[in-house]
Amino acid sequence: MNASVVYYTKSGNTKKIADAIGVEVGTQAGTIDNALTQPVDLLFLGASVYKFGIDKAVLTFIDTLTPAMVGKVAIFSTSAMSDSGYPILCKALAAKGIPVVDQHFYCKGKFAFANKNRPNEEDVQNAKTFAKSAMMA
Ligand SMILES: Cc1cc2nc3c(=O)[nH]c(=O)nc-3n(C[C@H](O)[C@H](O)[C@H](O)COP(=O)(O)O)c2cc1C
């Protein structure tokens, strides 16, 4: 199974998790600006919550995906206080006919004075465990 890791970040929290997942699955994580150039069995997609939603750039990226290019997606997300972006991302991927693995990764991300040092080392280790498990799903 081959895997890619792509993410969108405004302040680096999602990148930190993406890089850890990349290390775990043996690939370099890249931003959503790097379009997929070849089919991938498992795409790790990282997107966090802004203004109670997902940035439009991520939804535009999902719109470029096809079932021929992406076997399934594993989602990871961070936020300061509200829930993960998982439900919104699932809905967008379902509309494209792309399956999403049941498990997803979520942790708090620092924002202003909240969640200092998050994602922390424990979050990074949990993200790696998630990645390993998604690769076996
Ligand atoms: C413009 C902006 C809007 C945000 N809106 C929310 C929000 O509605 N709910 C929430 O829980 N966190 C919100 N956050 C906090 C981010 O979800 C959190 O800091 C996240 O870890 C950012 O990930 P990133 O560093 O990869 O961009 C917001 C952050 C920014 C910069």
Q: Is the shortest distance between the CB of 118 and ligand 1 below 6 Å?
A: no
Residues 106-122 have a mean pLDDT of 97
**Residue pLDDT, tens place only, 61-108:** 999 999 999 999 999 999 999 888 999 999 999 999 999 999 999 999
CA–centroid distance, 112 to ligand 1, in Å, is 9
What local confidence, expressed as pLDDT, does residue 83 receive?
82
Residue 135 pLDDT greater than 90, yes or no: yes
| 24 alpha carbon, distance to own chain's centre | 14
Domains in the chain, CATH or no CATH each:
3-136 (3.40.50.360)
Question: Hey, whose CA ends up nearest to atom 1 of ligand 1?
Answer: 50
Residue 50 pLDDT greater than 90, yes or no: yes
| Exposure class string for 102-131: b at 16+ Cβ within 10 A, else e | eebbbbbbbbeeebeebbeeebbebbbebb
Residue 112 pLDDT greater than 90, yes or no: yes
Q: Within 13 Å, how many C-alpha atoms sit on residue 33's CB side?
A: 2
Question: Hey, whose CA ends up nearest to atom 3 of ligand 1?
Answer: 50
